[in-house]
Structure 1
């Protein structure tokens, strides 16, 4: 409890200091401004490199009149603390995991439903880069955020011991680590697995000691956490997609000139596409490296197994969409996907 109070005090003090510095900078030179941008990904992650590209574009095209102070890797607080600071306006902008934003805007849980998105990744972006995506981003305004774009975190995979996940039956009785999410718990339970919450920091040890049999994450997490070292099988299940979202504090964004708003929007789009290409390259390199160096078997679902999972999961989408707002998002996505797939 004492340590938690110290952490909160430190985080609050740091935010106040940053705000004071920004205020001092703006009064020293009225023509210059500083944007504070935070993120959660490590230094070599595609999202981090994309955010650095955003910083580069802003500073170059503003001729140095706008400076971006970027803090990746949770330097200014936990996942939730950084999003809260962005919501309050003590931090201007954030690139956050969608799962960190959904507690504030719970209809965003829909985007993480299993077997909602096609395996052809370009079709995802034909939806989220266009009008349906902009409509979904606009829902953030009700909670004080200006949504700028969806960033690529990659498809999720499952790693397991003893039994590879090749079909629905593979999950039967399998103890699988999940984050404390209703969507994850309900869906894996439907598959016959035993969803087991384990703290993320304890996941490697839990897998190593057999406390749980399996886990699900995108490839960058599996690689960064070295989870392949303590698992026998890796299945590229592609059951879900991990999104990040770049947001600005809405009040702060609306206070900017139209010229500055357009600069931020243009820079975000370019940086988002840059990071997306990097993510695709990094994901494939992680798979190649694991196949070559790790003592683990890599699997993919065949067409029949994917069809089985999809048919089992689709009815859950409506069951999980237990509010009008969630159903609205689900309908937007389904209608848009039907259009781009046909």
Structure 2
């Protein structure tokens, strides 16, 4: 832990030295973009699409630096760099809850019936509500919401058909306290771990399984060390493409339009990927010898009622009331 903190400090110090006090120089806007994952992963695809679209539309008005594959650290490290304004644009998955507890709404099981319902909510009033909350709590601007998608459970011990099948399983989860709470209430033994460490932990038996969208199983080759994939679709995870609100405010109105348009294109690309890849990946995993099953979702939905209630207690009361009115209009 100390080593990671020292590394992050060194990165911030070094980047501060190289960036100076502002990233807007004369008529050129210089932006540093960073992502933890490698090409092919939805987070990476969203940021790469943002980069390419912005470069094409703004041309010589913008200079972009692009760091991928954890070149500047883990997602937690990158969040620190973003808040220090040493990275200007960052796509964030589940770890967004570390910046704003109201994003724990995405840790509530079965909040969204399908992808389109979640997309419509994020492109509408719920997205505006979350963007306002993140700006107020963390000083970050939401540029667009992309898609990691619905999460499933994989493991090396048994198919997951009902919540009882989770009993005692050591499952990797993100560091979100509410995601950990949810799996504890379902009887599993959730184990937060950096995504880059999961493959070795699964192979060595330190973990029994993990939960992620199907695309992550493919990108990180996790299916190679898992015998069972259970299509629980228990929570929907967006990609929140973020920028420091101060940095965003420094942009000219014209550049802001370029940035938002590029972010929306990145979001579109991740949603397209999600739609095309899920069915293909189920077939690919089955062909690779992984047993893919459809659980009894009704039993999971029943078990999730007290979980949603427990998570709701951790949200701002006003936010939760507004979110409920949006998602369940009376």
Structure 2 match to 1:334: 324
Moved more, 76-85 or 329-338: 329-338
Does the 8 A contact of 1:154 with 1:283 survive in 2? no
Q: Give a deviation string over 1:201-234, Cα, whole Å, max 9, x none.
A: 5533443344443321221222233222232211
Q: Distance in 1 between matches of 2:315 and 2:193?
A: 31
Would the alpha carbon gap of residues 231 and 271 (structure 1) be closer, same or farther in structure 2, given more than 3 Å must change? closer
Match of 2:58 in 1: 62
Kept in 1, the 8 Å contact 2:101–2:315? The answer is: no
> SS at 1:310's partner residue?
helix
Match of 1:283 in 2: 278
How far 1:65 sits from its partner (Å)?
Answer: 1.4
Q: Could you tell me which residue of structure 2 aligns to residue 91 of structure 1?
A: 87
Question: Aligned-pair distance for 1:196?
Answer: 4.1
Query: Which residue does 1:125 correspond to in 2?
Result: 119
Secondary structure of 2:86's aligned partner = coil
Secondary structure of 1:102's match?
A: helix
* Distance verdict in 2 for CA 1:61–1:137, change over 3 Å: same
**CA distance 1:238–1:330, change in 2 (3 Å):** farther
Q: Is the 8 A contact 1:176 1:212 kept in 2?
A: yes
| 1:296 to 1:253, Cα distance in 2 relative to 1, 3 A | same
Deviations 1:41-67 (A, max 9, x none): 212223323322222222222242122
Give unpaired runs (5+ residues) of structure 2: none
Q: Quote the offset at 1:295 in angstroms.
A: 1.9
Q: Which runs of 5+ in 1 are unaligned?
A: none
Which residue is 1:36 aligned to? 32
Give runs of aligned pairs for residues 67-146 of structure 1, distance below 5 A.
67-97=63-93, 99-118=94-113, 120-142=114-136, 143-146=138-141
TM-score (ref. length: structure 2):
0.88
Q: Secondary structure at the match of 1:295?
A: coil
Residues 178 and 184, structure 1, Cα contact 8 Å, conserved in 2: yes
Cα 1:17–1:110 change in 2 (3 A) is: same
Contact 2:46–2:91, Cα closer than 8 Å, also in 1: no
Shift of residue 126 of structure 1?
0.8
Which residue matches 2:307?
Answer: 316
Whole-angstrom distance in 2 between the partners of 1:258 and 1:166: 52
Q: What per-residue deviation string (whole Å, max 9, x for no partner) do you get for residues 81-138 of structure 1?
A: 21122222222221122x32222212212222222222x2111011001122112111
Give the 3-state SS of the residue equivalent to 2:266 in structure 1.
helix
Secondary structure in 1 aligned to 2:73? coil
**Residue in structure 2 matched with residue 12 of structure 1 by the alignment:** 12
Cα 1:213–1:39 shift into 2, 3 Å: closer
The Cα shift of 1:179 comes to 3.8
Change (3 A) 1:171 1:100: closer
